[in-house]
Amino acid sequence: MKFKKTIDIVLAFVLLFSLAACANSNTANQKQTSTESATTASAASSATSAENTTGGKKSIVIYFSGSGNTKRVAELVANETGSELFELVPTTPYTDDDLNWRDENSRVIKEHNDPSLQNTELTSIKVSDWESYDTVLFGYPLWWREAAWPVNSFVKGNDFSGKTVIPFCTSTSDGIGDSGSKLAQMAGTGTWQDGMRFPENDDESSIRDWARSLNLK
Ligand SMILES: Cc1cc2nc3c(=O)[nH]c(=O)nc-3n(C[C@H](O)[C@H](O)[C@H](O)COP(=O)(O)O)c2cc1C
């Protein structure tokens, strides 16, 4: 009888310890769950504040320029619209000789005559924080009435979904024509506008006026 009482007491202790251990592990699980939901909440709130700081509108000027005319326009447009600037730089830049379309042995003439040579490699086609831009101003010189092909790998290699794309070009005499809509087709994503053409050495004031008319600031 005394022996049974001892066993009962031992069993009672074992039961007590198991209950206590179980309660501890529940608290630990609850703690972990509440830490996880705190992390999720803080991630959500920082995403919201990032949207607020940009006011939901952020623009970038992306351009290629062989001899500097488009670069000048791109810089003025970025300045007037408060946009970031991103230059498309060929891994092998075009020299003046390369750009001489009057010389049948020049690089541009060879590339023009053989489209397989038109996949100009660029030093980078990745814009950091690309998703955050809702407007892309896209600048290029006209080459044979089309967007100069060094822009192609950027257009093919990026997703323009949800973005408004505003093409602009510089040229000696030709208008922008269908150069922008051909880029839109190449991209397959994004809402591409008709765009704008500037003469080679256009007045700074006309470029600024156009940029201001976009109401991006
Ligand atoms: C290879 C090549 C082809 C060109 N083709 C045209 C053309 O078809 N129509 C035109 O009006 N200008 C043409 N131009 C002139 C350029 O579009 C113009 O000089 C442009 O402003 C150059 O811009 P960039 O200095 O940014 O390279 C051509 C220039 C080059 C080098």
pLDDT tens per residue across span 127-146: 999 999 999 999 999 999 99
Q: Is 25 helix (H, G, I), strand (E, B) or coil?
A: helix
pLDDT of residue 84: 97
Domain-wise residue ranges, the chain: 1-56, 57-213
Which residues approach ligand 1 with their CB closer than 6 A?
65-71, 99, 101, 108, 141-145, 170-174, 200
Closest ligand 1 atom to residue 65 Cα is 26
Tell me how far the alpha carbon of residue 67 lies from the centroid of ligand 1, in angstroms.
9
Mutate to test the pocket of ligand 1, among 172, 179, 202 (most ligand atoms within 8 A of CB): 172
Q: Is 84 helix (H, G, I), strand (E, B) or coil?
A: strand
- Which amino acid belongs to residue 18? S
Tell me how far the alpha carbon of residue 157 lies from the centroid of ligand 1, in angstroms.
24
User: What does the alpha-carbon distance between residue 196 and residue 175 come to, in Å, rounded to a whole number?
Assistant: 8
Mutate to test the pocket of ligand 1, among 106, 171, 176 (most ligand atoms within 8 A of CB): 171
pLDDT of residue 57: 78
C-alpha pair distances (Å), 159 with each of 57, 173, 184? 18, 32, 11
Residue nearest to atom 17 of ligand 1 (CA): 171
pLDDT of residue 97: 98
C-alpha pair distances (Å), 62 with each of 68, 92, 94, 198? 14, 19, 18, 16
Q: Average model confidence (pLDDT) for the chain?
A: 82
Please give the structure tokens belonging to residue 173.
Answer: 């005499």
Residue nearest to atom 27 of ligand 1 (CA): 66
Q: How many CB atoms lie within 10 A of CB 1?
A: 4
Which ranges of the chain would DSSP assign to H, the alpha helix?
2-54, 69-81, 107-113, 152-156, 179-187, 204-213
Mutate to test the pocket of ligand 1, among 142, 146, 170 (most ligand atoms within 8 A of CB): 142
Q: Could you tell me if 197 and 176 are in contact, meaning their C-beta atoms sit under 8 angstroms apart?
A: yes
Q: Is 92 helix (H, G, I), strand (E, B) or coil?
A: coil
The segments of the chain whose pLDDT lies below 70 read: 1-56
What is the CATH number assigned to the segment(s) 57-213?
3.40.50.360
State the DSSP H helix or E strand holding residue 192, giving kind and residue range, or none if neither: strand 191-192
Tell me how far the alpha carbon of residue 172 lies from the centroid of ligand 1, in angstroms.
6
- Which amino acid belongs to residue 150? P
Q: Is 23 helix (H, G, I), strand (E, B) or coil?
A: helix
Half-sphere exposure of residue 200: CA atoms within 13 angstroms, side-chain side: 8
Closest ligand 1 atom to residue 71 Cα is 26
